[in-house]
Structure 1
Amino acid sequence: MAKEHIVLFPFMSQGHIIPFLSLAKLISERHPTYTITLLNTPLNILNLQSTLPPNSNIHLKSLPYRSSDFGLPPDRENTDSLPFPLVLSFYQSGESLATHFTHFVSDLTRQNHDTPPLLIVADVFFGWTAEIAKRLNTHVSFSTCGAYGTAAYFSVWLHLPHAETDLPDFTAPGFPETFKLQRNQLSTYLKKADGSDRWSKFFQRQISLSLTSDAMICNTVEEMEAEGLRLLRKNTGLRVWSIGPLLPSLPPNSSLGRSGRKSGMEVSYIMKWLDSHPPGSVVYVSFGSIHDTAAQMTSLAVGLAVELATRSCGHSGRRFGGNRNRNSNPNGVPDEFEARMRGSGRGILIHGWAPQLEILEHESTGAFVSHCGWNSTLESLSRGVCMIGWPLAAEQFYNSKMVEEDWEWGGTCEGSGGGVRSEEVERLVRLVTEDEKGSDEENEQYDEMIGGYEEKGGEGSLSGQLIKFIGMESQ
């Protein structure tokens, strides 16, 4: 007898793998008789092995991949270990998995009494999977971002409206005229895109192919992004299911991160350091795994140093806890800044992965300077920590815009990217940390939208949406 099988295929980046893994675990809990297979490249699969319990109905399957075939350094299978100039080549290399993906799906169907998978849920960066999976009448795209950010990102890349005007602001097709985007809210490579460049060709192809899917799922909550979901549904013409928030739980092994990565510093040491500081007095800084620049780090260091120096060491003093990927620009954080933090005891710098959930959950953490990746945005909101947005790429600019303008949950550094002045960092740290954390009323509001939504039963809950989605899309 054929078994129900769901295949999940995230793009090779932590920001994509983490919500896919959360989705796999959620499906496993709600449908324990199903078999779930999560596909990826060998090193990513190796890192994920420690995240699953024994006898899980979630299977991990690696597809052959050799980064050196694409002019990339050996054993680079994830954006977290990749210099930015190589990122586009890495993105493009993903389509080399098509043959292996086709063979896997064909073998799986044959082994399951010629019954294809119930669902194939693939990353929007793997839009090419739609052509393969739709031959079996089963394909769903998964945007690991929010609805608002996804809708804006799709619109800007597909239409390049900024290329048609010299004005500093413009309207994205499919959005109301009152919705204005700023040219300085675009990444450097998007500002230069004209439709004939490699970046445009990659994103326009993957997005267009994703739009041929049967449906799309989005890691968001209906109550939190009602307008964003309305725009995404209207602009794509797809059925869009909000199945979020896909928030990872604290890992049972505190030395490992959400996707099996080991923390760059002992978690117990970090927690002890946080315990030694008053509630709401620590500024946590993390920009994700790529895109950090020397100019960005210098502005950050100078701005925080001024803020640290002008406050007393008492309750109002700000402390700094930072995360810097060990593979980022080695000239990023000035050596004297790190030495000053270490000597004063008022800051720590984590090289490599940081235990972000534990840090955000700690009562000493009062603000989060973030690139506004969607996972970080959801985690910050759910833990009641206000954000200082420093968007760098992708849909981060639109996330930061929503956090500041719609949710009023923090501020955005003017200038963005490496163009942010140190004075701007200082100003926003002062502004956001005036209150130790979000007010009780605000915390309750976002807990209702995010944390509480996950626990409720019924059709409107996360589990209810998931069951409804699987039932409808498998018919």
Structure 2
Amino acid sequence: MDANSTAEARRPPHVAMLVTPGMGHLIPLAELAKRLAARHGVTATLITFASTASAPQRAFLASLPPAIASLSLPPVDLSDLGPGATIETLMSEECARLVPALTGVLSALRETTRLVAYVADLFGADSFDAAVAAGVPRRYLFHPGNLHGLMIMLHLPELDVSMPGEFRDLAEPVRLPGCVPIPGPDVMSGLQDKSDPCYRWMVHHARLYRESEAILVNSFDAVEPDAARVLTHPEPGRPPVYNIGPLIRADANDEPRAACLDWLDRQPPKSVIFVSFGSGGSLPTEHMRELALGLELTGQRFLWAVRSPSDEGTVNANYYDAESKKDPMAYLPEGFVERTKDIGLLVPSWAPQTEVLAHEATGGFLVHCGWNSVLESLVHGVPMVAWPLFAEQRQNAVMLSEGVRAAMRVPATKRKEEIAAAVREVMTGQGKGAEVRAKVAALQKAAKEALLEGGAATTALDEVISHHPRAVQYTLLENFTLVKSPSNSKAKSCSRLFAVTADTVVLADGGATHGKVGVVDGHAVGTCRCCVSKTWWKAQVVSPMSGHHRLSATMWVSVEVTQNDLRSMRPVHLDFSPKGFQPADTEGIIHRHLSEQFPTTDYLTAPVI
């Protein structure tokens, strides 16, 4: 093995992640990168779009650990799309037009890193073409929303053909396996008008989802258990689905402490309702006024990240830039600020949401139902009042209020009395509010357990690594001759190398009279043969890389491997003697035994040498 190959094998595996616009896309992908680095030694590059190069995004990227790099793709001219183009269309067009540039970026990363996988989020499926062109071995789709949203996308191509008319005009809810029935008008906004290019883009993305090797979802089983049972069950023609959430922003320790947190310090426990519509949402003027008057009616303490309304009534007006366009206080009812100064705090544009939700004074969250915000609320045990705005938020609100019952939804009429009633019930735990608070407490516990060692999310991510292992480069060195055991006269060829960890080699079924030896991740490995009568055959391998070491095996009864003269030498013994065992079962048995005996080990499926 030459010096260059040795150096390549010793470099950590690297993953490239495409982040389409929106902090709700960036934050969970960054948290996924952190988890891969901490648990599996993987480095990552987050690839962003020039259209979202805002100050908050730059600050967030700069705060990431050294194992996670970032770069921005070049700007794209989208002026031909016109002023009426939806956010979904803008993101989709930008991604499609950037495929050549992205191909160059990925090709360069292959030269400078050990690039083993590419991850695109839900609006980036077209970028799989770039990964294929650059020769990236594995391609994954990351869905930052929940399983309900993924289920709709997976069924969208058939719904497009079978469903006449528009979703908004359906007399009956949309019923999909394992999902809460979703009324047609509450289906994600990008699907509400078949004549809009946005709709065709969504169908296009849905078809491409099935080209990924696996789909990673930022959700957890307890919050949508029926959908989890359906989607985690294998289905021909559909990539495996893994629930790896909740992925939320873990900390912001390097940022200066916001003044609103000092205000929260002076409030009683669980007495404040936090009001925020995410990084991209704003209310029509009339709804903003009704919300203010509704909060005043409750007499409840509140912290409101208030943003100026859009004159056109576009609720996603701040998607690309979270800063208020005008002074938001000018749009509040006359005298509101003065009347509520003793119980409320108004923060222009933005508040540190994670820290606010984690504060002991926060007892409720009036939320737009963006999935990132929902997960943050559940992780911190904060019950919700649902006020959805755009994208998939309306169907999230249905799932939360009618399905899991972790939120109360504000009626569509948005009158101040209705707003006040929903806030009071959640904050005081009266009526349906009691059920909401109890359910959120249970989901908080489940969310934390999912992330523990052996928890559902941790296990799911480990399965992604093990079932879809990192790319392996090996160098064929030489053939070697097997040494016959004196006690055996009935030799049969029946074994080959199957899997390798950092310090363990496992042999499995196959066959060759003479074996070949190669190098996987800096370890000399080879095939050998044995007989079915529990008699040892021994193979001795000499390579310039690791010197002399011996592999031994007993086929179908046990496998025992000891690597000599290698770092972290460790023998492993696997019992392969279940009744009725057949050679074809070997792969599943090895995977199961490795995951049981080495649950935190990143093991590889080796190429046939």
TM-score, normalisation: structure 2 = 0.64
Deviations 1:240-285 (A, max 9, x none): 1111111221211233xxxxxxxxxxx4421221122222221111
The residue number in structure 2 matching 1:403 is 400
The residue number in structure 2 matching 1:420 is 414
1:335 to 331, 334, 352: 331
Q: Secondary structure at the match of 1:48?
A: helix
Q: Which amino acid aligns with 2:141?
A: S
The residue number in structure 1 matching 2:227 is 228
Q: Secondary structure at the match of 2:223?
A: coil
- Per-residue deviation, 1:406: 2.7
CA distance in 2 between counterparts of 1:122 and 1:184 reads 28
Structure 2 matches for 1:153-172, cutoff 5 A? Answer: 154-155=154-155, 159=159, 161=163, 163=165, 169-172=171-174
CA distance in 2 between counterparts of 1:138 and 1:427 reads 51
Q: Secondary structure at the match of 1:433?
A: helix
CA distance in 1 between counterparts of 2:334 and 2:20 reads 34
Q: Which amino acid aligns with 2:458?
A: S
2:428 to 405, 420, 434: 434
The verdict on how the C-alpha distance between 1:222 and 1:319 changes in structure 2, with shifts beyond 3 A counting, is: closer
CA distance in 2 between counterparts of 1:449 and 1:233 reads 18
Q: Secondary structure at the match of 1:273?
A: helix
Residue 89 of structure 2 contacts residue 197 of structure 2 at CA under 8 Å; is this kept in 1? no
Residue 301 of structure 1 contacts residue 333 of structure 1 at CA under 8 Å; is this kept in 2? no
Does residue 1:11 correspond to 2:7, yes or no? no
Residue 389 of structure 1 contacts residue 410 of structure 1 at CA under 8 Å; is this kept in 2? yes
Paired residue total: 431
Q: Which amino acid aligns with 1:319?
A: F
The residue number in structure 2 matching 1:277 is 267
1:463 to 458, 462, 485: 458
Where in structure 2 are there 5+ consecutive unaligned residues?
1-6, 308-317, 470-604
Q: Secondary structure at the match of 2:138?
A: coil
Residue 284 of structure 1 contacts residue 321 of structure 1 at CA under 8 Å; is this kept in 2? yes
Q: Relative to structure 2, which stretch is displaced further, 43-52 or 400-409?
A: 43-52
Deviations 1:325-359 (A, max 9, x none): 65456487663448623564222222233101111
The residue number in structure 2 matching 1:47 is 59
The residue number in structure 1 matching 2:310 is none
Q: Secondary structure at the match of 1:36?
A: strand
Residue 175 of structure 2 contacts residue 182 of structure 2 at CA under 8 Å; is this kept in 1? no
Residue 169 of structure 1 contacts residue 180 of structure 1 at CA under 8 Å; is this kept in 2? no
Does residue 1:296 correspond to 2:281, yes or no? no
The verdict on how the C-alpha distance between 1:188 and 1:438 changes in structure 2, with shifts beyond 3 A counting, is: same
**Which of the pair has more CA radius of gyration?**
2
- Per-residue deviation, 1:200: 0.7
Residue 214 of structure 2 contacts residue 239 of structure 2 at CA under 8 Å; is this kept in 1? yes
The residue number in structure 2 matching 1:36 is 44
- Per-residue deviation, 1:59: 1.7
The verdict on how the C-alpha distance between 1:406 and 1:354 changes in structure 2, with shifts beyond 3 A counting, is: same
Instruction: Give me the CA root mean square deviation.
Output: 3.2
1:387 to 373, 384, 387: 384
Does residue 1:349 correspond to 2:346, yes or no? yes
Residue 297 of structure 1 contacts residue 332 of structure 1 at CA under 8 Å; is this kept in 2? no
Higher strand share: 2
The verdict on how the C-alpha distance between 1:174 and 1:307 changes in structure 2, with shifts beyond 3 A counting, is: closer
Residue 155 of structure 1 contacts residue 172 of structure 1 at CA under 8 Å; is this kept in 2? no
- Per-residue deviation, 1:450: 0.6
Q: Which amino acid aligns with 2:90?
A: F
The residue number in structure 2 matching 1:314 is none
Does residue 1:60 correspond to 2:60, yes or no? no
Structure 2 matches for 1:31-430, cutoff 5 A? Answer: 31-32=40-41, 34-42=42-50, 43=53, 46-53=58-65, 56-66=66-76, 69-71=77-79, 87-88=87-88, 90-91=90-91, 92-111=93-112, 117-134=115-132, 136=135, 137-152=137-152, 154-155=154-155, 159=159, 161=163, 163=165, 169-172=171-174, 174-175=176-177, 179-186=180-187, 190-191=191-192, 193-194=193-194, 196-232=195-231, 237-255=238-256, 267-294=257-284, 295-308=286-299, 317-324=300-307, 327-328=323-324, 330=326, 335-337=331-333, 340-341=336-337, 344-345=340-341, 346-415=343-412, 419-430=413-424
- Per-residue deviation, 1:464: 3.0
Q: Relative to structure 2, which stretch is displaced further, 368-377 or 284-293?
A: 284-293
- Per-residue deviation, 1:290: 2.9
Higher helix share: 1
Residue 156 of structure 1 contacts residue 172 of structure 1 at CA under 8 Å; is this kept in 2? no
CA distance in 1 between counterparts of 2:180 and 2:258 reads 46
- Per-residue deviation, 1:229: 2.5
Q: Which has the higher contact order (CA 8 A, sep 6+)?
A: 1
Q: Which amino acid aligns with 1:172?
A: V
- Per-residue deviation, 1:427: 1.6
CA distance in 2 between counterparts of 1:233 and 1:463 reads 15
Residue 174 of structure 1 contacts residue 231 of structure 1 at CA under 8 Å; is this kept in 2? no
Residue 306 of structure 2 contacts residue 328 of structure 2 at CA under 8 Å; is this kept in 1? no
CA distance in 1 between counterparts of 2:68 and 2:148 reads 30
Residue 128 of structure 1 contacts residue 210 of structure 1 at CA under 8 Å; is this kept in 2? no
Q: Secondary structure at the match of 2:428?
A: coil
CA distance in 2 between counterparts of 1:122 and 1:461 reads 23
Residue 273 of structure 2 contacts residue 301 of structure 2 at CA under 8 Å; is this kept in 1? yes
- Per-residue deviation, 1:37: 1.3
The verdict on how the C-alpha distance between 1:165 and 1:207 changes in structure 2, with shifts beyond 3 A counting, is: closer
Q: Which amino acid aligns with 1:170?
A: E
Residue 36 of structure 1 contacts residue 57 of structure 1 at CA under 8 Å; is this kept in 2? yes
CA distance in 2 between counterparts of 1:35 and 1:180 reads 40
Residue 130 of structure 1 contacts residue 210 of structure 1 at CA under 8 Å; is this kept in 2? no
